[in-house]
A and B are shown apart, each in its own frame.
Chain A
Amino acid sequence: MDRFLFLTVDGLARGAVLAAFALSLVIIWRAARIVNFAQGAMAVATTYIAFTVTSATGNYWLGLASAVVAGLVLGALVERTVMRFVGNTNPLNSVIAGLGLLLVIQAALGMIFGNGYRAMATPFSSTPISVGGVSAVSPYDLFIFICVGLMVVGLALLFTKTSLGLRLRASAFAPDLARLLGVRSSRMLTLGWALSSAVGALAALLIIPTELGLNPHAVDTVFVYAFTVAVVGGLDSAGGAVAGGLAVGVVLSWVSGYLGATLTPIAVLVLLLAVLLLRPAGLFSMTKERTA
């Protein structure tokens, strides 16, 4: 029972980060109908900035803030300089552009910072606290829950309670119609990319210290998991990304804990395949038509 509890809580913490990463993919998908394959590399780039700032100042929080700000800037930059000119006549265009960007960013990071792994410190201990003799949750797990929780609540408030959020949603659902209503859809798209990239930056910063360390390819596998989460939840559903992230995180933790870590990639692929076969739009997908 102790093991089950530990694996479940650990899975939830990892799932929370996967949810954040998936959320970053969902934001772009909703805004531009693009799966951003460069999202992982962009997030790693911002983590390098956090690493550099933290190393120079000794302040983790300054590093965290700089990663989020760098994420905002990088997202806007990618949209304004690359994705805007890709065109949407063929969905493959954005896929190829995203993959190209992924290679360029990873190569650039390798040239600037090297390809070796760099250990990243966490602001809190990763050792589980023992409560009543049961080791379940670590202070860093709690930190992850709080960060992702605040981010999800913040995004939910932004999108549902503010005029800016309404503009963002309208531009995402029906950009041409939104323009007729005076919304500057082009700016909203840029903002969507910026937000998505900042969310990805936070997710990467949270998960990289728990993996092997910082490296240009540090979140390659995490990206595959996050993509699975987004598909499981429904690429159109922010709530699906959160629920899917937590569920996938727990399932992966159980598989890893009970069947062996080598089986987790297979478990992810089986899950992805099952959802694509049974409910291709995702478990939480809603409407197909956005205007009528």
Chain B
Amino acid sequence: MSGLLVMESVSAGYGPVPVLHGVSLSVAAGSITAVVGANGAGKTTLLRTIIGQLQPAAGYISFDGAALAGTKVENMVRRGIALVPEGRGVITELTVEENLRLGGLWRRDRAAAATLLARMYELFEPLARRRRAPGHQLSGGERQMLALGRALMANPRLLLLDEPSLGLAPRITAQILGLLRTLCDDTGLTVLLIEQNVRSALSVADDGVVLNLGSVVAARSAADLAADTDLRHTYLGF
């Protein structure tokens, strides 16, 4: 298997409760890969395992050809992997600017961090107008933009996104997914997208992976998956 991110036969879970069963997948550099599946399929567990919050019971995960095993969560961002967690995780007691700065604090190059901050305000204009507002004053869409912008402040090579459409209006979701597509095309960013909104996810993704009860049941191009009526009816409910 080749790809920027590779998982081979990964099993993981919470204590004695297994959730992922021998998951193998590959995420090509510069692509968007959507992982879709019903509630309880193990999508969030998959991301938590990649980012190091859960240790795999078996299997192998590599990023850019090197094993991720043993890398601490706080060092993942230094290796080029950023995660936007489910529920966005904006720190509500910090301002918009502080939340954004936090994403790039691990970098020693302050000039580069300042450039990225300016870039984030260009990408997410509503945030520029509210840079001094505390997180708890933001709308759901603005919080999602903030969480995404904060992850991008790390200038990651691989962005992991967990349910970015959760609780958002379809118009905002479309804007955010469209922005991801543009970022991938323009900057070569690689995205692994976990999403329950299957139609939207497959519409912007290059590849798709269907997860069911902790196992991969299909991994093909997103267009193929969207066109497979049987698969959609059986596993995706539409």
What is the interface of chain A, defined by CB distance below 8 A to chain B?
163, 166-167, 169-170, 173-174, 176-185, 286-287, 289-292
The answer, yes or no, to whether B102 is at the interface (CB within 8 Å) is: yes
The answer, yes or no, to whether B22 is at the interface (CB within 8 Å) is: no
- Structural contact, B135 and A292, CB atoms closer than 8 A: yes
Neighbouring B residues of A289 by C-beta, 8 Å: 92, 136
Residue of B nearest to A164 (CB): B105
- Contact for B77 among A181, A286, A287, CB less than 8 A: A181
Chain B 192-204 against A: per-residue CB contact (8 Å), 1 yes, 0 no?
0000000000000
- Structural contact, A166 and B88, CB atoms closer than 8 A: no
In the assembly, what is the distance between CA of A173 and CA of B73, in Å? 17
- Structural contact, B89 and A174, CB atoms closer than 8 A: yes
In the assembly, what is the distance between CA of A170 and CA of B98, in Å? 9
- Ordered nearest first, which 5 A-B pairs have the shortest CB separation? A182-B106, A182-B77, A179-B74, A179-B73, A177-B89
- Structural contact, B93 and A177, CB atoms closer than 8 A: no
In the assembly, what is the distance between CA of A207 and CA of B102, in Å? 38
Residue of A nearest to B77 (CB): A182
A288 vs chain B, min Cβ distance (A): 10
The answer, yes or no, to whether B85 is at the interface (CB within 8 Å) is: yes
Chain B contacts with A in 66-96, Cβ cutoff 8 A = 72-78, 82-83, 85, 87-94
- Structural contact, A178 and B102, CB atoms closer than 8 A: yes
Neighbouring B residues of A170 by C-beta, 8 Å: 91, 94, 102
In the assembly, what is the distance between CA of A180 and CA of B103, in Å? 9
Given contacts A174-B91, A179-B74, 7 further A-B contacts (CB under 8 A): A173-B92, A177-B89, A181-B77, A181-B105, A290-B91, A292-B135, A292-B143
- Structural contact, B105 and A182, CB atoms closer than 8 A: yes
Neighbouring A residues of B94 by C-beta, 8 Å: 166, 169-170, 173
In the assembly, what is the distance between CA of A179 and CA of B78, in Å? 11
B82 vs chain A, min Cβ distance (A): 8
In the assembly, what is the distance between CA of A159 and CA of B154, in Å? 22
In the assembly, what is the distance between CA of A178 and CA of B82, in Å? 12
In the assembly, what is the distance between CA of A122 and CA of B117, in Å? 50
- Structural contact, B77 and A166, CB atoms closer than 8 A: no
- Structural contact, B102 and A292, CB atoms closer than 8 A: no
- Structural contact, A292 and B105, CB atoms closer than 8 A: no
In the assembly, what is the distance between CA of A85 and CA of B150, in Å? 32
Residue of B nearest to A184 (CB): B74
Given contacts A167-B105, A177-B85, A181-B77, whether A292 and B90 have CB atoms under 8 Å apart is yes
- Structural contact, A292 and B154, CB atoms closer than 8 A: no
What is the interface of chain B, defined by CB distance below 8 A to chain A?
51, 53, 72-78, 82-83, 85, 87-94, 98, 101-103, 105-106, 135-136, 143, 150, 154
Task: Name 24 A/B residue pairs within 8 A (Cβ), A-sorted.
Answer: A169-B93, A169-B98, A173-B94, A174-B89, A176-B53, A177-B89, A177-B91, A180-B51, A180-B83, A181-B77, A181-B102, A181-B103, A181-B150, A182-B74, A182-B105, A183-B106, A184-B74, A185-B74, A290-B92, A291-B87, A291-B92, A292-B87, A292-B90, A292-B136
Neighbouring B residues of A176 by C-beta, 8 Å: 53
In the assembly, what is the distance between CA of A173 and CA of B92, in Å? 9
Given contacts A173-B94, A180-B73, A180-B83, whether A291 and B105 have CB atoms under 8 Å apart is no
Residue of B nearest to A174 (CB): B91
Residue of B nearest to A292 (CB): B92
Given contacts A179-B73, A182-B154, whether A291 and B102 have CB atoms under 8 Å apart is no
Neighbouring A residues of B74 by C-beta, 8 Å: 179-180, 182-185
Neighbouring A residues of B136 by C-beta, 8 Å: 287, 289, 292
Residue of A nearest to B78 (CB): A182
Neighbouring A residues of B92 by C-beta, 8 Å: 173, 287, 289-292
Neighbouring A residues of B91 by C-beta, 8 Å: 170, 173-174, 177, 290-291
B162 vs chain A, min Cβ distance (A): 11
In the assembly, what is the distance between CA of A291 and CA of B83, in Å? 15
In the assembly, what is the distance between CA of A170 and CA of B51, in Å? 19
A61 vs chain B, min Cβ distance (A): 35
A94 vs chain B, min Cβ distance (A): 22
In the assembly, what is the distance between CA of A273 and CA of B191, in Å? 54
Neighbouring B residues of A178 by C-beta, 8 Å: 102
Greatest chain A CB density within 10 A among B91, B135, B143 is at B91
Residue of A nearest to B134 (CB): A287
Neighbouring B residues of A174 by C-beta, 8 Å: 89, 91
Greatest chain A CB density within 10 A among B82, B83, B85, B105 is at B105
- Structural contact, A291 and B77, CB atoms closer than 8 A: no
- Structural contact, A166 and B101, CB atoms closer than 8 A: yes
Neighbouring B residues of A169 by C-beta, 8 Å: 93-94, 98
In the assembly, what is the distance between CA of A179 and CA of B98, in Å? 16
Neighbouring B residues of A179 by C-beta, 8 Å: 72-74
Neighbouring A residues of B105 by C-beta, 8 Å: 163, 166-167, 181-183
